Chains A and B, each alone.
Chain A
Amino acid sequence: ELKVEQNPLFLSMQEGKNYTIYCNYSTTSDRLYWYRQDPGKSLESLFVLLSNGAVKQEGRLMASLDTKARLSTLHITAAVHDLSATYFCAVDIYMEYGNKLVFGAGTILRVKS
């Protein structure tokens, strides 16, 4: 059974600081997604990582994928309050009838000013 583990599960950081969220998964997959969820809201797609070594950047967020280590990272640079949200990674695996996503538990990020 595929397991997806995120750490930390809760992160409180000061504005202007850098930090990394880790996503480990237990089976072979070459596609991984990062989503953002604001309180009481739906999930918003941030990044789609499609191959080993893939790196994507958007503003202060950068995501990478190492399929050999079964590890993805979401790096936050010079955090600002607007980045406060819950971040999920999700691994794409192929089932009998198409693909499915298996989600990590999520990392709650609070950026303090």
Chain B
Amino acid sequence: NAGVTQTPKFRVLKTGQSMTLLCAQDMNHEYMYWYRQDPGMGLRLIHYSVGEGTTAKGEVPDGYNVSRLKKQNFLLGLESAAPSQTSVYFCASGKGDRAYLGETQYFGPGTRLLVL
């Protein structure tokens, strides 16, 4: 099992450019999440998905869009990158439902994004 993988690992963008971050999981999890990590702020939820074709906003969704066309993939898009989006992005997956007590989220290795 590869677990949760992310592509790319590192990217430099210029302001206004667009890009898509890809997250893939092989654990058959229904729930997938995108977080950003900034120094001193922990992880903050951007968007999440509770199943194929269903997405919802998290705490900091502005400037990002997502899609979940296949259960195993969750894409995060930046349409017009801004320097404030310089961050480390983590994808996670999990069973999500409260019925699965004790189930944690599993995190990918992260994508470091620098917007100049």
Q: Which A residues are within 8 Å of any B CB, using their own CB?
A: 4, 9, 31, 33, 41-45, 48, 50, 88, 90, 94-106
Contact = CB atoms under 8 A, between A and B. Distances in A.
Nearest to A40: B110
B42 A88 contact: yes
Q: Is the interface of A mostly helix, strand, loop or mixed?
A: strand
Contact of B45 (A43, A100, A105): A100
A99 B98 contact: yes
B71 to A, nearest CB: 15
B104 interface: yes
A88 B105 CA distance: 13
Interface of B: 31, 33, 40-45, 48, 50, 54, 56, 58-59, 90, 94, 96-98, 101-110
A100 B94 CA distance: 10
Contact of B58 (A48, A50, A100, A106): A100
Given A42-B90, A50-B102, A96-B56, 6 more contacts: A9-B40, A42-B109, A43-B90, A45-B104, A88-B43, A106-B40
